[in-house]
Structure 1
Amino acid sequence: MHYKQIRNLEIELGTTLLMRSSVGVSLTPTGQILFNRSKNIINEVNVMKREIILSQEKEKAFLTIGSWPSVATVYLPYHLAQNKRLKNRSEIKIKVSYSFFDLLNNLENRNIDAAVFNDSDVNHKFYSSPLIEEEFLLFVNRQHPKYGQKEEVSFDEMIEETFVMLAEGCDARMLVEKAFLEKGEKLNIALEIDFIEANLGISILPEIFINQLSDNIKAIPITNFKITRKISVIARKESDSKQKILIQSLKGKISMT
């Protein structure tokens, strides 16, 4: 095979490259010229490869995404890790915020490239594209005397309960408060979310929190309380190349279980 390739090269160049004798094979003067030049060509090819790699690294998009804690710790890491195209073309940082005011301000000030949160009832000037929609469930300790053994619970059963909720300004809490008001009821709020672990309270949360459940916590469907949270990706403009990569990569729904 090698002999045929060398012979074809000799025909192409119109010269003899190798001198063959009973003692072996040696380069002719023209063969020596080709050999020396070939080393230079190989070196140039290697330099070119390194330059291409460096150029591709410079073209990587450095993206910062702002989001709620629940979305930032559950949805985004999983979804971004599944997208090899985005992973290869981008370096991504996730910035956690507890208020959509902060997210929109950071977007306006270019501290983040995109925000991922529920903007259904938020007036803003940015581009928005829907990602996922999720229901709200009742989260209780499995040893809770009233709800621990239930497979579903009605809204009427919960009216007089006192709940542990997320921080004020969080969209999940605002949606639950609004739903209670629409039914002519007031949401009674007690303490922090951590108290569910110690069986000191119950909470109404989006189903994305199922992914963070410990073994002693269960999530129960609520009848007559069909509110949903719609998560969108919000960016300054759809045409921005970095944001376009991100938006296209985040589109689609993942399983919440």
Structure 2
Amino acid sequence: MNISPKQLRLFLALSESLNFSKTAEQLFISQPSLSKAIQELEEELGLTLFERTTRSVRLTPSGARMAVVARSVLGEFEAGLKRFQSSAEREAAQLSIAAWPSLAHVVLPAVCAALERQTPTPQITLHDCANSACLQRLLNHQADFALASVAPSHPDLQYEELLRDRFVLLAGGKWRKQVRPQMRLDELLALPLITLTDASTAMRYMSAAYLQRGIEYRPKMQVDQVATVAGLVKKEVGVAVLPYLGVMPILGMAGIQTSEIVDGPLRSVGIVTRRLGHPSAVAQTAMDLVRSVSAELMGKYPGWLLPPSSRKR
């Protein structure tokens, strides 16, 4: 049965006024259009809903009974529309971001705080995970966008570089005497280096930097979490090699010295999105805020965080 809510509304309006010209005027349609809509409804139902004479219009007994049903159907339809609209509003407020932990810690708190001020009741999910896991969540539509490093080669993803991140050396206790404010990659080889595991972009960048020199990068220890690195440095187990954004959460630790690796690699940091589709309004706002926060960080730490490369990715 092909009956629209509009036809039911026209039928109910006419059933109350019993006047074609008055109903057409109230509903801002022409009288012939109203007559045609009622005729098509009667044909679809196989019922005569109105008795028409040159002087009057009145409901048939079937029309009176169908008017009761039509009111119920329209009431349920409008209630369903309200539920549908409410669900759409909740869905529009959903935001899911995938980011590796150091970015989640340094960039996203400011982004989330600004979203709370700008967007009505956002529902935010943050996935702080490894770079590859961030990209996979994006491909699986489990995230609206990702904050990641290394431009992905996947054809369904695109990368916008936001900044470049210098690598630094963290030393504490007895190891502070072994390092200077500026160090070179060759000088690090004599130190007990601590870094993140092979799954991290930090390890990939450092391995590539040494490989260009024909050297295999073999740190003393590899761990998953920056907090563990901090504990090991504090206990003088070794010296940490990490990107600056990665060490920002632990820079305030007493007795820790930060040194620049002058010829170290620069880690790319950026936004990854899917090539197809369009981000939601809240996701677009969040990405704009990420760009703004990244620019503020570059202004605050110009020696450690550098502008994007001019080379397209």
Per the normalisation by structure 1, the TM-score is 0.68
Residues 73-222 of structure 1 aligned to structure 2 (within 5 Å): 73-82=105-114, 86-88=118-120, 90-98=122-130, 100-120=131-151, 122-124=152-154, 125-144=156-175, 146-147=177-178, 150-191=180-221, 192=223, 193=229, 194-208=231-245, 209-213=247-251, 214-222=253-261
Query: Quick one: which amino acid aligns to residue 185 of structure 1?
Result: I
Q: CA deviation at 1:84?
A: 5.7
SS in 2 for 1:251: helix
Gaps (5+ residues) in structure 2? 1-85, 224-228, 302-313
Contact 1:68 1:97 in 2 (8 A): yes
The structure-2 alpha-carbon separation of the partners of 1:186 and 1:81, relative to structure 1 and needing over 3 Å to count, comes to same
Distance 2:208 2:129 in 1: 21
Instruction: Indicate the structure (1 or 2) with the bigger Cα radius of gyration.
Output: 2
Q: Give the aligned length.
A: 200
Moved more, 246-255 or 173-182: 246-255
Contact 1:130 1:231 in 2 (8 A): yes
SS in 1 for 2:195: coil
SS in 1 for 2:104: helix
Distance 1:59 1:109 in 2: 18
1:228 aligns with 2:266: yes
* Percentage of pairs with the same residue: 21
SS in 2 for 1:210: helix
SS in 1 for 2:165: strand
SS in 2 for 1:112: coil
Determine which structure has the larger helix proportion and give its number: 2
Q: CA deviation at 1:240?
A: 2.2
Q: CA deviation at 1:85?
A: 5.5
Contact 1:140 1:218 in 2 (8 A): yes
Q: CA deviation at 1:144?
A: 1.5
Contact 1:80 1:86 in 2 (8 A): no
SS in 2 for 1:215: coil
Contact 2:98 2:134 in 1 (8 A): yes
Q: CA deviation at 1:67?
A: 1.1
Query: Quick one: which amino acid aligns to residue 133 of structure 1?
Result: R
Contact 1:80 1:250 in 2 (8 A): no
Match of 2:304 in 1: none
Contact 1:65 1:114 in 2 (8 A): yes
Which residue of the other structure, out of 60, 64, 67, is the alignment partner of 2:99?
A: 67
The structure-2 alpha-carbon separation of the partners of 1:159 and 1:249, relative to structure 1 and needing over 3 Å to count, comes to same
Contact 1:131 1:232 in 2 (8 A): yes
Distance 1:230 1:79 in 2: 20
Contact 1:126 1:235 in 2 (8 A): yes
Query: Quick one: which amino acid aligns to residue 267 of structure 2?
Result: R
Distance 2:174 2:157 in 1: 45
Per the normalisation by structure 2, the TM-score is 0.57
Query: Quick one: which amino acid aligns to residue 116 of structure 1?
Result: L
Query: Quick one: which amino acid aligns to residue 132 of structure 1?
Result: L
Match of 1:254 in 2: 296
Match of 1:3 in 2: none
Contact 2:174 2:236 in 1 (8 A): yes
Gaps (5+ residues) in structure 1? 1-53
Query: Quick one: which amino acid aligns to residue 217 of structure 1?
Result: I
Q: CA deviation at 1:165?
A: 1.0
Distance 1:123 1:249 in 2: 25
Deviations 1:42-62 (A, max 9, x none): xxxxxxxxxxxx899647521
Distance 1:84 1:118 in 2: 26
Q: CA deviation at 1:160?
A: 3.1
Query: Quick one: which amino acid aligns to residue 234 of structure 2?
Result: E
